[in-house]
Structure 1
Amino acid sequence: MSHRPQPLPRSHYPRYDTITTRWMDNDAYGHVNNVVYYSFFDTAVNRWLIAAGALDPHAGDVIGLVVETQCRYFAPLSFPQRVEAGLRVAHIGRSSVRYELGLFAEGEPLTAAAGHFVHVYVDRATRRPVALPPALVAALQPLVLPA
């Protein structure tokens, strides 16, 4: 018997960011297109890292490349709507981080979508993996919750 994934509660995520849907996010079926959810994930992570001083996307020596991603959909989102993106860190490795994200319709108790992605941090010039910089590790610590 397979276990069917279930939506997650707000308590699963220690950090939230609000993202407003745009007209162009909707598809022909009247809801946010599935690929846009990945953009929301990327926005939530990078806003946090930039605000925490752990990422300089234009001039930093170290950048994160997405090497794995997944999303599970539970309820539709649409335009116009405010989406609350929950963020947590599930694993910090030597050169990689697994982020877990949940997208909630504003005020809703359970995720409309939940997923993850893995960043491998690399040298901007060589694109070779590097150890996570101390400022990045410090920015990630508040996002780590018990499994």
Structure 2
Amino acid sequence: MDNDAYGHVNNVVYYSWFDTAVNQFLILNGVLDIERSPVIGLVIETQCNYFASVAFPERVVAGVRVTKLGTSSVRYEVGIFREDEETAAAQGHFVHVYVDRATRRPTPLPEPMRKLLETIEVTQP
């Protein structure tokens, strides 16, 4: 299902990979429970550049970093690499605004999440 009529992974799949990579990082590090966390991230902006095609069943690896850490928002940058390649096949970003699960109003990042995100934060020149 990932490959489109042209024989490569469709662009929409990359956005799914971005979301999965970030959520997996947060879940594995114990700062997000997608079913119970009182704070959840909503995507408000996304973008992707494509440099090389990928086709299923090729394996991919995602690299994640944070380039802007606000009070309630985070800009994540994600690189998608073919397994064992050093050059990204695609690179993009998305911005999460963290909101209260019940009210959907912006809320400050929980401190454990902020501390974790600081470990992958890079400053742009």
Q: Which TM-score band applies after superposition, normalised by the shorter structure?
A: over 0.9
> Which among 44, 50, 59 is matched to residue 36 of structure 2?
59
Specify every segment of 5 or more residues in structure 2 that has no aligned partner in the other structure, as ranges: none
Q: Take 1:146 and 1:68, find their aligned partners in 2: how far apart are those partners?
A: 19
Identity %: 63
> Which among 41, 49, 58 is matched to residue 26 of structure 2?
49
Letter in 2 for 1:66: V
Give deviations 1:4-35, integer Å, cap 9, x for gaps: xxxxxxxxxxxxxxxxxxxx100011100000
Q: Take 1:142 and 1:81, find their aligned partners in 2: how far apart are those partners?
A: 30
Query: Runs in 1 of length 4+ with deviation above 4 angstroms?
Result: none
- Give the structure, 1 or 2, with the largest relative contact order (CA under 8 Å, sep 6 or more): 1
Superposed, 1:67-86 pairs within 5 Å as 67-86=44-63
> Which among 23, 32, 40 is matched to residue 9 of structure 2?
32
Equivalenced residue count is 124
Q: TM-score, normalised by structure 2?
A: 0.97
Letter in 2 for 1:129: P
Q: TM-score, normalised by structure 1?
A: 0.83
Specify every segment of 5 or more residues in structure 1 that has no aligned partner in the other structure, as ranges: 1-23
| Cα deviation, residue 145, structure 1 | 2.2
Q: Take 1:127 and 1:108, find their aligned partners in 2: how far apart are those partners?
A: 40
| Cα deviation, residue 141, structure 1 | 1.4
Q: What RMSD, in angstroms, separates the aligned Cα atoms of the two structures?
A: 0.7
